[in-house]
Amino acid sequence: MSKFYLSNPTNTLAVINRYNFVFQKKFGQNFLIEQGIVEKIVREAGVTKEDFVLEIGPGIGTMTQLLCENAREVAAVEIDKKLIPILEDTLSEYDNVTIINDDILKVDIHALAARKNGARPIKVVANLPYYITTPIIMKLFESKAPVDSITVMVQKEVAERMQTGPGSKDYGALSLAVQYYAKPEVVVNVPPECFMPRPNVGSSVIRLKKHDVCPVSVLDEKLMFRIIRASFNQRRKTLVNGLNNSPEIGFPKEVICRAVEKLGKGLSVRGEALTLEEFAGLSDFFSSECSK
C-alpha cells in the first residue's frame, strides 16, 4: 500500500505548493481530503482485481491511488493539462494506470473499453465538476458504452433528483433518464469540509448500477426522451400544453389530447405526475400514430 496518501490534507497541500498549482474555477476543482471517504467510494464501487476502471477527473490522483491498488488497471481522464505532470509524479509508483489528458465528452469510451478490457463492461468512478455532471452521466448512458456501474460524487441535491419519483418537486428529466438506464443509490453524504477548497454545497456519492434490461420497453427511446424533456421544460404548464408548445414534438394538439386522455389522468395532468412506464406508453402512442 502507498504510504503517501494524498487524501491527507497536509500531503495535498505539499503537492499543491510543490507545483504552485492554482485551482481553476472553470474546471470546478475540489480535491477530497478525507481518507475514509475515498476508501468508501472505492469500496462501494465494488472495484476488484478483475476490473478495468475509468476515472473521470482524477485531480492530483487522490482517489486514483486507491483505485490502482484495488483494480487490475485504471485509465484516468483529466481535462486540465496543468495537472498532468502532477499526476505523473503522484502516480509514479503504479504501473497499472494510464493518464489521458482530454475532455471526457470527447473520449471514445467504446474504443477505450475495447482496447483495455476486451469490450467487457467497465466500472466508472468520478469526482465530477458539478456544472457538467449531467452531460457526462448522460453521455456514458446514451452512448451505449459497455459500463457496469458509475460511482460518482455529485451535488447533494442532484443525487436526490436522480433517486426521486413522481410528485416530488425534484422529479424531472434527469430522474427519469437515470432510472431508465440504472438503479441509483446514494452510498455516502460528504460535507464541504472534506474538500479543498471547500465547496458551498453538500455532496453525495451515488452509485448508478446499470440495468441488464431497461425497466420499461419503448418503441422509440429518443422520442420518449423528447417527450420527457418537453414535459418538464415548462413545469407549470399541463402536459398537453407542454407537449403542444415544444418544437421537439410536432404532433397536432388533438393527437396530443388523445394520447394524454389514454393515460386516464385527465387533460389537466402535469408531466411531474407521470411514471416512467406512462411516459413509455405516451411515446408508443405517438409512434403508432406516426406509422398510420
Question: Quick one: pLDDT at residue 23?
Answer: 82
- Give dist(CA 177, CA 229) in Å, integer: 10
**Residue for grid cell 399541463:** 238
Rounded to a whole number of angstroms, the CA Rg of the chain reads 21
Q: Which CATH class is domain 221-290?
A: mainly alpha
Structure confidence at residue 3 as a pLDDT band (50, 70, 90): low
Q: What is the mean pLDDT of residues 169-186?
A: 96
Question: What pLDDT, on a 0 to 100 scale, did the predictor assign at position 1?
Answer: 41
What's the whole-number mean pLDDT along residues 40-69? 97
State yes or no: cis peptide before 197, omega within 30 of 0: yes
Rounded distance, CA 100 to CA 179, Å?
Answer: 30
pTM here is 0.92
pLDDT for res 129: 79
Using 50, 70 and 90 to split pLDDT, how confident is the model at 291? low
Q: What is the mean pLDDT of residues 169-191?
A: 96
Percentage of the chain exceeding pLDDT 90? 85
> Does residue 128 or residue 214 have the better pLDDT?
214
The per-residue pLDDT for 2 is 44
Nearest alpha-carbon partner for 176 in 129, 132, 141, 212: 141
Average pLDDT on 117-140 reads 91
Mean pLDDT of 70-93: 96
Across the range 227-241, mean pLDDT stands at 92
pLDDT of residue 236: 85
pLDDT at 140 > cutoff 50 = yes
Look at the chain and count its residues: 292
Identify the pLDDT of residue 25: 74
| Residue ranges of domains in the chain | 9-210, 221-290
Q: How far apart are CA 245 and CA 257, in angstroms?
A: 13
Indicate the CATH number for domain 9-210: 3.40.50.150
Q: Between 29 and 174, whose confidence is greater?
A: 174
Distance, CA of 13 to CA of 61 (rounded, Å): 13
Q: What is the mean pLDDT of residues 159-180?
A: 95
Report d(CA 166, CA 189) in Å as an integer.
Answer: 23
Cell 434527469, located at residue: 174
Confidence of residue 244 (pLDDT cuts 50, 70, 90): very high
Percentage of residues of the chain with pLDDT beyond 70: 98
